[in-house]
Amino acid sequence: MERNGRIELVCFDFGDTLADEATERKDPSGITLEAELIPGAAEVVRELKARGYPLALVADGLRGTYVNVLGHYGLWDLFDVRAISEEVGIEKPDARMFKAALDPLRIPENQYDRVIMVGNNLSRDIRGANALGIVSIWLDWAPRRSKIPADVLEVPDYTIKLPLELLDVIEACEKALDG
């Protein structure tokens, strides 16, 4: 269903996008048992869901990590689609990771400019989104990843410092779509 001026899907990475990687406590198999969320992350996910946006988790890692952490905060069930590398069999920036989130919602390629990907990693999240024409939003919050794009595909469409800033960016994107 096409909605004029409306973002069709908001995709989120997990580590240092929703959860603070520095606070993760893992079991011996590498599954995160618990972690703190980045300030504002839970609020932005809940607000976007309340506004009727479909949400996707597009994350590299083990399903158990996301069930444990997002479930603890009551966020797991708010995601309409989950593309998790353990289940998809590849990692970002491979286009198949993003398509694993887009295809179940039947978002055609000519509508990818109505999809947003929020992530912390220029070489995975931003590169992968840009290669498909998805709106890329870099959450420049943590010091753990490169902050310098390696090439034009790693240059984000938007940069935010805190998750709640995403609400203003989505509003700006929808105004641009209304053109």
pLDDT (tens digit per residue) in 50-107: 999 999 999 999 999 999 999 999 999 999 999 999 999 999 999 999 999 999 999 9
Nearest to 159 by CA among 136, 178, 134: 136
**At residue 68, what is the residue type?**
N
Residues 43-56 have pLDDT tens digits of: 999 999 999 999 99
Write down the domain spans for the chain: 15-178
What is the architecture, at CATH level 2, of domain 15-178?
3-Layer(aba) Sandwich (3.40)
Task: Name the pLDDT band for 1 (thresholds 50, 70, 90).
Answer: very low
pLDDT at position 4: 62
pLDDT at position 144: 84
The end-to-end CA distance of the chain, in Å, is 19
Contact 79/118 with Cβ under 8 angstroms? no
